[in-house]
Structure 1
Amino acid sequence: MAYQNAFELLPEEIVKEIQKYVNGTILYIPKKTKDRFPWGSKTASKELLRRRNQQIYQDYQMGKSTRELAGSYYLDIKSIQRIIRTMKKQC
């Protein structure tokens, strides 16, 4: 995202009003909440993690230890425990 001069985008009165609060400061203006997309909605990331977590839980139910799962999925043991705990609540 490139910086843009406020005087090129906004009416002068608005820029002068903003300058009363943040004169010479770089200011970030976020998108409106309604224009934002939920995390993972634009890519398959959320679905991939959901499937991975289901597989971890199935492997756990089949008898794999948290240590084995951590090694297989390249996660730390605490992450595996959190995933198992979350999946238990969902079932």
Structure 2
Amino acid sequence: MRYINANDILPKELVEKLQDFIQGEYIYIPAIKDQHKNWGELSGFRKEIDRRNSEIIQAYNSGNSIQELAESYCLSVYAIRKIIYNK
């Protein structure tokens, strides 16, 4: 999450009204419920992780051992097991 200066995006009148309640502090404005994005959706990292996990499962089903996959993907044996057995 990055911080944005209210003066850069909000009308002056709204900034002044907000200053009646809070000044010089951070405020979190949640997304509208239907518009909330899950972790990694905006950056595309979620898709990248899903693709990697699919590759790991496919490699395991093709005969690669959990230890080999852990070394190949620089993950722990525990992480590889979670990927394989939770899908």
What's the offset of the Cα at 1:79? Answer: 0.3
Greater per-residue helix proportion: 1
Normalised by the length of structure 2, the TM-score is 0.64
Change in CA separation of 1:43 and 1:75 when aligned onto 2, cut-off 3 Å: same
Specify the alignment match of 2:47 in structure 1. 47
**Unaligned runs of at least 5 residues, structure 1:** 20-25
> Which residue in the other structure is 1:62 paired with?
62
Count how many residue pairs are aligned between Structure 1 and Structure 2.
81
CA RMSD of aligned residues (A): 2.9
Q: Identical aligned pairs, as a percentage?
A: 27
1-side partners of 2:51 and 2:69: how far apart?
15
Whichever residue aligns with residue 77 of structure 2, its letter is I
Bigger Rg over Cα: 1
Which stretches in structure 2 are left out of the alignment for 5+ residues? 7-11
